[in-house]
Amino acid sequence: MIDEIRISNEKDYQPSVAAAINRRTSFSIKDGKLVTQHQYSIDRKNYIVNSIFDMDGKQSITDGVKHLIDTELEKAS
């Protein structure tokens, strides 16, 4: 799946100054995990963002959020 999103670089939108963001998304399932990979291209710079979801997980959403908060607190300290 490929998306193209146009955003303005200034407060007042002008098509001549818009930046293009291209996004390609792929999905795969491996070892009971759903992996989504988003590949972004923004002004000739490439970024890849992976998300991994455990399909057989025993953790609740609350457990996942707590883990994310703990991870961010560890990075900040």
Contact 28, 52 (CB under 8 A): no
For every one of its 77 residues, what pLDDT tens digit does the chain have, with 9 covering 90 and above? 555 555 555 566 666 655 667 788 999 988 888 889 989 887 778 899 988 888 777 777 788 788 888 888 888 87
Res 54: pLDDT = 81
Strand partners, 38: 25, 49
Res 26: pLDDT = 92
Res 23: pLDDT = 83
- Count of alpha carbons within 13 angstroms of residue 24, beta-carbon side: 5
Res 6: pLDDT = 58
Backbone angles phi, psi at 51, to 5 degrees: -125, 135
